[in-house]
Copies of this chain bind each other. A is one copy, B any other.
Amino acid sequence: MSATEHPDTPATPETTDAERRARVTWSHIAEPSDAVALLACAVLGPTSALELAREGSPADLTAALQGQVPSHASDPETGTPPARAARALERWQGRLRTLEIDRVLEDAQRRHVRILVPDDPEWPEHLSDLQGTAPHCLWVQGAGRLDALTGPRTVALVGSRASTPYGEDAATTLGAAFAASGGTVVSGGAYGIDAAAHRGALAADGGATLAVLAGGLDRLYPRGNTQLLERIRAEHVLVSEAPIGTAPTRWRFLARNRLIAALSRVVVVVEAAWRSGALSTARLADDLSRPVGAVPGPITSAASAGCHRLVRERGAVLITDPDDLLDLLPGGPAAGEGSFALQDELDLLTPADHRVLDAVPPRSSIVEDRLAAEIGFTAREVSAALGRLELLGLLERTGDLVRRARPRP
C-alpha cells in the first residue's frame, strides 16, 4: 500500500524512515508559516502530503484539503482554492528540484546535528500544544538532551535587543537564580535580554539554558554572540526548526517565537519597548495557555513600556523576584499566597492594637503601666491589646516590660 493511497496510519512508537525523510523535506520546501503546507501535512500526514507535493495537481490538493479547518485561522488565504493550491505547489516544487535529501541527512550527521521528529524520545512532549503549527522536525545540536531540558521547570526569558543595563541585569539575575534552582532558561540568540538571560543561566551552578534560533544551526547569529551560542551548544542545546543553511530572516524570527513559547512553561518578558517582537512571544504564549510574566521598570524607560503594557492590557503577572517565576510554574503556589503573613497579621489588628504597638519604642522596652498612661488607655485596654500583639508575634513581654519582637527571617 503506497503512501499516496491514504493518510498515514495512526502514530506508531517509531516513525518510519519514509516519514522522517518526508518531514525533513517539508522543513526545506515550506516556511514555518506556510499555512497550506501545515494543513496538508496535518490532514494527509507528511509522507502522503509530500507525494502530492511532488506529483499532484492543484485540483488534487484542493480536493484533499476540502472542508478542512486551517489552524492558522488568522490567515484569510487558507481556503485553498485551486489558484492558491497552484501557487503552493509551484513554491514547493521549485525547492524540491534542487533538494538532495541524502546529502542533507549526511551533512547533519557530519555536523552532529540531530534531526528530531515527533515520535523520537528526545522530542519535547508539550510541542504538541502547537497543534497544526507544530514544526515538521527540529534541528538540535549540543551536549544536552532537548526533552530533559524542557521539563516542568522551563521558563522563557525574552526581551528587546535594545536593552538597558537595568534590563540586562534583571535578565541575568532572574536567569541565574532560576537556573540555580534546577530550571532551564529558554531564549533566542539575540543581543540584549536574550544574551543576558543565557549568561545568567550559564553562570549558575549547574544551570541549564536553551537557545532557539531562527536560522540554521550553522548560522550562529548575530555574530557577536557566536562565542555565547557555541558555549550553549557545548554545554546544553541549540534548537531550530530551520534546516542547516537557512538564513535568519525576520519572518523566521516571528515563527521562531512560537517555538520559544511552546518549549517553555512560562514566558517572562524582561524588557520590551511598546512595540517589540518580545510582545509577540508573549501573545503566542497566551494562545498556548502558558502564563505570561513581565518585569516592571522605571516609567521613564521606553525599554520597559512593553512590559508595563503587558501587565496593564493583557493581565501579565508582575515579576520582581526569582521566586515569582517559580510561582508561575505548573503546580506553583498561586500569586498572593506565601510569605506575606506579617502584613496579613497587621491587617488583623484593631485600631487600639495599632495604637499600643506604635507606642512601644522601636529599640528599647517600656513598662506596661507607662504605656497605658502614654496613650490614655485604661490598664485593661492595654493588656488586651498586648495579648493580641504578643500572640501575633509582634511584641514580647518579660514581666512588666514590653518590647518589639525582632523581625522574623
Please, what's the 1-or-0 string for A77-100, where 1 marks a CB less than 8 Å from any CB in chain B?
A: 100000100010011001000000
Contacts of A251 in B (CB 8 A): 351, 354-355, 358
Contact in complex: B299, A312 (CB < 8 Å)? no
Contacts of A83 in B (CB 8 A): 380
Contact in complex: A311, B313 (CB < 8 Å)? no
A76 within 8 A of B: yes
**Copies per complex?**
2
Residue A358 contacts which of B250, B324, B358 (CB distance < 8 angstroms)?
B250
Contacts of A312 in B (CB 8 A): 317-318, 320, 324, 335-336
Please, what's the 1-or-0 string for A251-263, where 1 marks a CB less than 8 Å from any CB in chain B?
A: 1001100000000
Q: Which of A76, A90, A317 has the most CB of B within 10 A?
A: A76
A166 within 8 A of B: yes
Binding site for B on A (CB under 8 A): 33, 35, 72, 74-77, 83, 87, 90-91, 94, 166, 169-170, 249-251, 254-255, 274-275, 279, 283, 295-300, 304-305, 308, 311-313, 317-321, 324, 335-336, 340, 342-343, 346-348, 350-352, 354-355, 358, 376, 378, 380-381, 384
Known: A169-B300, A283-B347, A312-B324. 13 other contacts (CB 8 A): A33-B352, A33-B355, A74-B347, A87-B381, A170-B300, A249-B358, A275-B343, A296-B299, A297-B299, A298-B298, A311-B311, A312-B317, A313-B336
